[in-house]
Homo-oligomer: A and B are copies of this chain.
């Protein structure tokens, strides 16, 4: 172990190019020896970012073995799990294996934790060839180790929930926290906003709908692409109105939101497919806000789309970190049976694949 303190953001683990932050690095040093302010986690499970998994699955025609080989090769060559096409990663669950004497993270050896910083900047080594994963889902059983820096975020897993459930919630916990914050900003100004969540039946979408209602939305609209999702979301009772629309079709989306009681004061984009920027802008009222949580969002499509539509809307890049986000999301899961039902149904469906 080196005897000087490491960089709190992990600069000392960057192999190339020199001087960049770990997320921007091509390659990280994932060796197990700790710097004094680091911790090492014994990995149990990776949760791949939805956009990343989708890209890999499509690139390999759904061939699970090929997807597994691709993920292994990325981790081996980069020292982290960062999809080179989407730029995104995911998160992981494991057990704290060693804590450096100068670590400020407040965890102890043996704690079961989830990392709330992206896999794109987390040094990672896999030792079991991912042999327990069939390559056909975002949740990846895995053995190996990961390193967290001083300025990382890690959450102890609740005892009353199965780890898969906590992991799925924490993976998207920035979305409900930021949605709630934005809704409250409207409420504080005396406006009870109409909130439309595109992809309302998904993980971040269902949590965002619950957060919007709890924070004081006048009306919540859940937009979904297919009947089966509409049925699930309706049964969950999380949206005042559930509407069908292809979010990539701006004209159809704007019409659907309008008919559901829009335009929206706040539009939350939670679908992991490209091309939803224009529809989000077109279905939002003048003076409204669009929050983009999908990693498939194109910056230039959003910026130029709003300009091209002469739309005076505030557009936010969905920041995955809001203080207290993990506790807030877990609380929504515990207190909203509709949220819990959707998450458990999703995990069950993945288990059946």
Contacts and interface: CB of A to CB of B under 8 A. Distances in A.
Interface in A328-347: none
A187 to B, nearest CB: 16
A141 interface: no
Interface stretch (A195-203, A219-227, A258-266, A302-310): A302-310
Nearest to A24: B278
Interface residues of A, number: 57
Given A250-B20, A299-B295, A88 B322 contact: no
Contacts of A110: none
B322 A118 contact: no
A310 B105 CA distance: 12
Interface in A11-25: 11, 19-24
Nearest to A293: B303
Nearest to A295: B300
A6 interface: no
Interface stretch (A31-39, A228-236, A312-320): A312-320
A21 B250 contact: yes
29 contacts: A9-B308, A9-B309, A20-B249, A20-B250, A21-B282, A21-B308, A21-B309, A23-B301, A24-B301, A87-B298, A87-B301, A89-B304, A116-B307, A117-B308, A118-B307, A153-B310, A292-B317, A295-B300, A295-B304, A302-B317, A303-B318, A303-B320, A306-B317, A309-B321, A311-B321, A312-B319, A315-B316, A316-B317, A317-B317
A319 B308 contact: no
B306 A299 contact: no
Contacts of A76: none
A251 interface: yes
A19 B245 CA distance: 14
Contact of A22 (B11, B118, B308): B308
A310 B23 CA distance: 13
B21 A304 contact: no
Contact of A88 (B20, B300, B309, B318): B300
Contacts of A320: 303-304, 306-307
A323 interface: yes
A305 B295 CA distance: 12
A110 B24 CA distance: 51
Report, nearest first, the 5 A-B pairs whose CB atoms are least far apart. Answer: A307-B320, A315-B317, A87-B300, A121-B308, A299-B299
Contacts of A299: 292, 295, 297-299, 302, 317
A151 interface: yes
A26 interface: no
Interface in A69-116: 86-89, 116
A64 interface: no
A143 interface: no
A176 interface: no
Given A87-B301, A88-B304, A304-B320, 20 more contacts: A9-B308, A20-B249, A20-B278, A21-B278, A23-B278, A23-B308, A24-B250, A87-B304, A88-B300, A89-B304, A116-B307, A118-B308, A121-B308, A295-B299, A295-B300, A303-B320, A306-B320, A307-B321, A312-B319, A315-B317
